[in-house]
Chains A and B, each alone.
Chain A
Amino acid sequence: MQPTDTRDPDYYHRVVDCQWACPAHTNVPEYIRLIAQGKYTESYMLNRQSNVFPGILGRTCDRPCEPACRRGRVEEKPVAICRLKRVAADLKGEVDHLLPTAPEEKNGKRVALIGAGPASLTVANDLLPLGYDVTIFEALPKPGGLMRTNIPSFRLPAEVLDTEIDYVLRMGAKVHYDHRIESLKALLDEGGFDAVFVGTGAPKGKELDLPGRQEASANVHIGIEWLEAVHFGHVEKIGEKVLVIGVGNTAMDCCRSSIRLGGTSVKVMARKDRRYFKASPWELEDAEEEQVEIIENHSPAEFVLKDGKLVGMRFEIVEWHEDDKGRLRSKTVGDTVIDCDDVILAIGQDNAFPWVERDIGIEFDEWGLMKVDKTTFMTDRPGVFVGGDAAWGPENIIWAVAHGQQAAISIHKYCQGKSLTDRAPNALELTSSKMGLHEWSYANSYNPKPRSKMTHVDLAARLKEFSLEVELGFDPDQTALEVRRCLNCDIQTDFSSSKCIECDACIDICPTSCLTMTPVAEESKLRLALTVPATNLDQPLFVSDALPQTKRVMVKDEDVCVHCGLCAERCPTAAWDMAKMDLKIPHAK
Chain B
Amino acid sequence: MFKLILKLAWNNAFLRLSRTLLVIIMIAVSMSMLLAIQGLFDGMAYNMSDKMLRSDSGEISIYHKDYRLNKIIANHVTDAKTIKAKLEQDSEVQAVVTRFSVDGLSATARKSSFANIIGINLEDEEKFGQFSDFLKKGTLDFKKRGALIGGELAKTLKVKVGSKLVFSTQDKNGDINSIALRIRGILRTANVKLDTSAIFIDAVRLDKFLGIDKNIATQIAIRTQSSTLQDKLKKDYPNLSVKNFLEINPMMQMMEDSMVIFNSMIFVIVMFVVFIGILGVMYVSILDRIREFGIMRGIGMKYSHIRLQIILEALFVGLMGYLVGALFGFSGLYYLENVGLDLSAYADAMESFGYETILYAEIKLSYFTNTFYAIFTASLLSVFLPLRKIKKMHPIDVIKADT
- A and B associate: no
User: Which residues of B does A touch, CB under 8 Å?
Assistant: none
